[in-house]
């Protein structure tokens, strides 16, 4: 992605803490859903077809949970900078 003179990749949209919090909540909800569906044959088949990069729903559940936690940590670390 090209980077213009201001250093922000072209086409990127900065998130404020509230938007980032909503994304973190969405990731956490998706992680919970993936965890709840893990082991169910139809859900595992759908995961294999639609999210083939993951080794089943449990793997996807863990990845989503880690992403949500990492985003929560980043929000907490930067909230004081964004909203003193």
Cα gap 27→30, rounded to integer Å? 5
Give the pLDDT confidence score for residue 20 in this predicted structure. 81
Cβ pair 64, 27 in contact under 8 A: yes
The pTM (predicted TM-score) of the whole model is 0.72
The structural domains of the chain, with segments of one domain joined by +, span 17-82
Give the pLDDT confidence score for residue 80 in this predicted structure. 57
Cα gap 60→53, rounded to integer Å? 9
**Exposed e or buried b for every residue in 8-38, given b needs 16+ CB within 10 A?**
eeeeeeeeebeebeeebeebbebbeebbebb
- Estimate to the nearest angstrom the gap between the alpha carbon of 7 and the chain centroid: 24
- Block means of pLDDT (10 residues each) for the chain, length 84 residues? 55 67 90 96 96 94 93 77 48
């Amino acid at each position: 992605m090209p980077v213009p003179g201001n250093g922000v990749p072209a086409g990127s949209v900065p998130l404020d803490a509230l938007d980032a919090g909503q994304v973190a909540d969405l990731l956490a909800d998706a992680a919970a859903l993936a965890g709840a569906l893990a082991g169910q044959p139809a859900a595992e088949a759908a995961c294999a077809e639609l999210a083939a990069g993951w080794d089943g729903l449990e793997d996807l559940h863990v990845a989503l949970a880690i992403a949500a936690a990492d985003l929560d940590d980043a929000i907490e670390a930067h909230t004081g900078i964004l909203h003193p």
